[in-house]
Amino acid sequence: MPNKKNKEISIVKYLPRQPETIHAPYMPEMDFYTAVKSGNVRKVKQLCEEPFRTKQGLGVLSENALRNLKYHFVISAALIARMCIEGGMPLSESYGMSDYYIRLADSETDMNKISELHDEMSLEYASRMRKISSGKVFSKPVASCIDYILEHLDTRIKMSDLCALTGLSSSYLSRIFKEETGITITAYILGKKLETARNMLDYSEYPVSWITNTLAFPSESYFCKVFKEAYGTPPARYRRDLKRSEFRA
């Protein structure tokens, strides 16, 4: 798997130089928003370990540090709201949440509190998106499996892990999971990995090989095969077609 830090360094030298304004690297930033949209609470918590106020590369939108942080808070809230709407959150709910947190941030004078508020907002969105991804109310074992799957899409999820989590045998767990969701555990895992892969193709410049490794697909050829089966086109062509359509628009 390519090292994210090294990738960022290799890209930076090709960016236009702006002596006094530095912006956050695009790919790690979109990695965060994609995690929120997919309901990956565990990853969002990890990415929030770096305080929002000290995030490396925040652009200078105001000479006043407090106002600058508030501007970036508004931008982040707007992006999260829009991506979560695309992920299935009702428009009124998503924009209502962003308005609520923007108002809280606007009335705050402590930059640390604004930073903490950003973490709270991000985790609240991610938690709600995880529930939306679940789609309905499930029994505790199935709900636990779904939560585990959504938070471990970057790993090879094994049936033994889910059995240990729920304390159920593989045959019984497989049966109740399919009864409640309508699909097998394997199909559910693959579907969520493919949804996340499509988000990465939509909103980042991560290469197909990086997405393959990050989502723990067995091989790039396998990833391309199952992606084409799901969406009608291989991932690289999917991205090219998307860029062409955006250019025409």
Domain containing residue 239: CATH number? 1.10.10.60
Q: Do 113 and 24 share a domain, yes or no? A: yes
Rounded to two decimals, the pTM is 0.60
Does residue 220 lie in a domain region? yes
Instruction: Give every CB contact of residue 115 below 8 A, 6+ residues apart in sequence.
Output: 51, 52, 53, 54, 69
Domain final position from 134, 149, 165: 134
pLDDT of 91: 84
Domain final position from 134, 152, 187: 134
Q: Do 116 and 155 share a domain, yes or no? A: no
Does residue 6 lie in a domain region? no
Does residue 3 lie in a domain region? no
**What's the domain count of the chain?**
2
Domain final position from 99, 134, 169: 134
What would the DSSP string read from start to end of the chain?
---HHHHHHHHHTTSPP-TT-----HHHHHHHHHHHHTT-HHHHHHHTTS-GGG-TT---S-SSHHHHHHHHHHHHHHHHHHHHHHTT--HHHHHHHHHHHHHHHHT---HHHHHHHHHHHHHHHHHHHHHHHH-S---HHHHHHHHHHHH-TTS---HHHHHHHHT--HHHHHHHHHHHHSS-HHHHHHHHHHHHHHHHHHH----HHHHHHHTT-S-HHHHHHHHHHHHSS-HHHHHHHHHHHHHH-
Q: Do 179 and 197 share a domain, yes or no? A: yes
Q: Do 85 and 59 share a domain, yes or no? A: yes
Contact between residue 227 and residue 241 where contact means Cβ atoms under 8 Å apart: no
pLDDT of 57: 66
**For the chain (length 249 residues), average pLDDT per consecutive 10?**
46 40 50 86 88 80 91 92 86 88 92 94 91 74 88 92 96 94 94 88 86 94 96 93 67
pLDDT of 247: 56
Q: Do 148 and 187 share a domain, yes or no? A: yes
Does residue 214 lie in a domain region? yes
Scan for tokens 């939509």, then name that residue: 202
Does residue 151 lie in a domain region? yes
Q: What is the pLDDT of residues 100-110, one digit of tens each?
A: 999 999 999 99
**Structural domain range at position 171:** 140-248
Q: Do 146 and 79 share a domain, yes or no? A: no
